[in-house]
Structure 1
Amino acid sequence: MNWWFLIGVAGVILLGYLANRLGWIDLSNKNTRAGGGGSLLTIGDEVFAPSRHEAAIEIDRQSSLPAPAPVAGDRDLGIYDGRIRIDL
């Protein structure tokens, strides 16, 4: 192998590592249905199909459940002290 090939491969790996650490690309696997190569495909989505990538992020955001609403009988969280008076 030529020495420039090894330097080029090391440079690409270093650039990918820095881009991941700086938040330019996201290599975490958010696609739980796919196999092991899901994180590599998200790079292509971010670069070549950004609207598809943004739609996938929005679907993940909307599919997460919000905090449960308070129900009658829950303890007071310290918001109201004493009686509530309503003037009509």
Structure 2
Amino acid sequence: MDWWVVLGIAIAIIVMALVANHKGWIDLSDKHRSGRGGGSGSGLGIGDEVFHPTRHEAQVEMDRQTVLPAPAPIPGDGDKGVYRGRVQIALDDDGTPKR
């Protein structure tokens, strides 16, 4: 096989991936910029997205559920600026709200 055939196939695969990403058929965005590895944001995640989409969607949902939200204020916390249009909750190092 000539070198230009291999080069042509590689270029065709790259162009097809870019078109599929632009059309929304696949999602190549990096969802793990926080430094966590693995999951759907890894380089091999596209294999699951293309060949096993159910597993990919389950992994994306599991990643969403593992991110912990900020704790809700409790009744004794006071106003916290809600009526001024800004909510600010200060947390200790262990993640509990400061009193």
| TM-score category of the 2 structures, normalised to the smaller one | 0.5 to 0.7
Taking the aligned partners of 2:9 and 2:58, their CA distance within structure 1 comes to: 34
Q: Rg bigger for which structure?
A: 1
Q: Which runs of 4+ in 1 moved over 4 A?
A: none
Checking the alignment, whether the CA contact within 8 Å between 1:26 and 1:42 is kept in structure 2 is no
The correspondence of residues 1-88 of structure 1 with structure 2, limited to 5 A, is: 1=2, 3-27=4-28, 28=30, 30=32, 32-34=36-38, 38-39=42-43, 41-71=44-74, 72-78=77-83
TM-score w.r.t. length of structure 1:
0.59
Cα distance change of structure 1 residues 63 and 12 upon mapping to structure 2, 3 Å threshold: same
% identical aligned pairs = 45
Structure 1: 5+ residue stretches without partners: 80-88
* RMSD of aligned alpha carbons: 2.8
Q: Which amino acid aligns with 1:21?
A: H
In 1, the alpha carbon distance for the partners of 2:3 and 2:64 equals 47
Q: Match for 2:64: what amino acid?
A: R
- In structure 2, the gaps of 5 or more residues are 85-99
Aligned length: 75
